[in-house]
């Protein structure tokens, strides 16, 4: 009967198709296990290196801008703000990168900087930060990095995360268990960076003394005469380079400059000749510092390179 024949052929074709499906699945598994997993292992290694290397620059920028950065995760609630908000907020941050200059009235003024995650979430939420978050994110030197990395040792550590956001998110999204909790969290949350300016004291003599960027020794003579506003930051941004090189010499200024010498800024940008007298030295330094402030933020980095 043709029906029997047809039945047989159908059955054979079904078997053949099932065999093809099995072959496809096997190919998928091979591809994943042979190529993808080793690649991801190398990628984790590279990413860890990058994160450790970036720790230094993060400290550097924090010191130069006198802020504390922390990563805050916001759960995505389907909010879609236009990209313009992101751009304007970013430009606002770069312009006011040094909050001290702006003479902010509030001590704990925080604002968000959005980091578009690799999964395409680009929402920006300028919310007010609670005091708990702020006070717990102000300490600059945290051991919480290591704590977090040990907690999430199964996967790569989340960059720039401090204690409070981690616990908050853990309690909120504890739907999944254990190791997969991190995986599921990555897609759920928006990654923000929270910038917290350090509490600054009001200086009676607003002068170059208050800048954390200037190396202290040329100003040391001036600070003896004027009541010292107190050392807000024990280290300047420039001294981090020498610390980074594991060469902490007290008598040597960063980049090998000795204390009695006047700091040389780039002559082509400032164009002033040096004044050797004490009284005029501070004025010339102040003028150069003003010139630095007028230019963009990149100059702050550049000054450390000029010899």
Partner 1 sequence: MLNSRIAEKEKEYVSVCKLKEISQEMSKKLELLAQRLETLNDGSEAVSTVLDNWPFIFESIQLASQHTGALVRTPLSADEKQP
- For the bound state, the minimum distance from the C-beta of residue 307 to partner 1, rounded and expressed in Å, comes to 5
**Total residues at interface with partner 1 (CB under 8 A):** 42
Query: Which of 228, 168, 234, 179 shows the shortest CA–CA distance to 204?
Result: 228
C-alpha to C-alpha distance for 284 and 276, rounded to whole angstroms? 10
- Give CA angle at 121 (138, 151), nearest 5°: 50
**183 near partner 1, rule: CB under 8 A:** no
Q: What is the largest CA-CA distance in the chain?
A: 116
Count of CB atoms situated within 10 Å of the CB of 11: 10
CB-based burial, 145-178: b 16+ in 10 Å, e otherwise: beebbeebeeebbbbbbbbbbbeebeeeeeeeee
Residues 17-56 that bind partner 1 (CB under 8 A): 17-18, 20-21, 24-25, 27-28, 31-32, 35-36, 39-40, 42-43, 46-47, 49-50, 53-54, 56
Residues 251-270 that bind partner 1 (CB under 8 A): 255-257
Closer to partner 1 by CB, 1 or 150: give it.
1
Cα 291 versus chain centre, distance:
27
Stretch that binds partner 1, among 86-94, 104-112, 194-202, 236-244 (CB under 8 A): 236-244
- Report yes or no: 276 and 205 within 8 Å, Cβ to Cβ: no
Count of CB atoms situated within 10 Å of the CB of 123: 18
Cα 239 versus chain centre, distance:
19
- For the bound state, the minimum distance from the C-beta of residue 47 to partner 1, rounded and expressed in Å, comes to 6
Q: Quick one: which of 10, 183, 228, 283 contacts partner 1 (CB under 8 A)?
A: 10
- For the bound state, the minimum distance from the C-beta of residue 193 to partner 1, rounded and expressed in Å, comes to 19
C-alpha to C-alpha distance for 125 and 186, rounded to whole angstroms? 18
**221 near partner 1, rule: CB under 8 A:** no
- For the bound state, the minimum distance from the C-beta of residue 69 to partner 1, rounded and expressed in Å, comes to 18
**5 near partner 1, rule: CB under 8 A:** no
Give contact residues for partner 1 (rule: CB under 8 A): 1, 3-4, 6-7, 10-11, 13-14, 17-18, 20-21, 24-25, 27-28, 31-32, 35-36, 39-40, 42-43, 46-47, 49-50, 53-54, 56, 241-242, 244-245, 247, 255-257, 305, 307
């Amino acid at each position: 009967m043709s029906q029997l024949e047809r039945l047989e052929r159908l059955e054979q074709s079904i078997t053949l198709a099932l065999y093809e499906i099995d072959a496809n699945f096997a190919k998928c598994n091979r591809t994943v296990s042979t190529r993808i997993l080793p690649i991801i292992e190398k990628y984790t290694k590279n990413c860890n290196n990058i994160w450790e290397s970036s720790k230094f620059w993060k400290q550097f920028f924090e010191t130069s801008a006198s802020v504390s950065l922390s990563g805050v995760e916001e759960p995505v609630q389907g909010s879609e703000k236009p990209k313009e908000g992101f751009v304007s907020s970013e430009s606002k941050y770069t312009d006011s990168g040094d909050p001290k200059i702006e003479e902010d009235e509030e001590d704990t003024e925080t604002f968000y900087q959005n980091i578009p995650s690799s999964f395409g979430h680009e929402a920006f939420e300028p919310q007010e930060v609670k005091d708990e978050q702020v006070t717990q994110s102000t300490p600059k030197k945290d051991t919480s990095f290591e704590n977090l990395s040990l907690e999430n040792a199964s996967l790569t550590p989340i960059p720039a995360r401090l204690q409070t956001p981690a616990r908050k998110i853990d309690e909120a999204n504890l739907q999944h268990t254990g190791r997969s909790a991190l995986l599921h969290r990555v897609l759920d949350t928006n990654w923000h960076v929270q910038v917290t300016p350090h509490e600054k004291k009001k200086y009676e003599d607003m002068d170059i003394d208050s800048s954390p960027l200037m190396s202290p020794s040329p100003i040391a003579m001036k600070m003896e005469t004027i009541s010292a506003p107190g050392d807000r930051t024990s280290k300047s941004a420039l001294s981090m380079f020498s610390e980074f090189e594991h060469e902490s010499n007290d008598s040597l200024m960063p980049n090998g400059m000795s204390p009695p010498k006047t700091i040389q800024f780039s002559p082509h940008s400032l164009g002033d000749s040096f004044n050797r007298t004490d009284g005029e030295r501070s004025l010339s330094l102040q003028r150069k510092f003003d010139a630095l402030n007028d230019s963009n933020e990149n100059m702050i980095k550049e000054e450390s390179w000029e010899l």
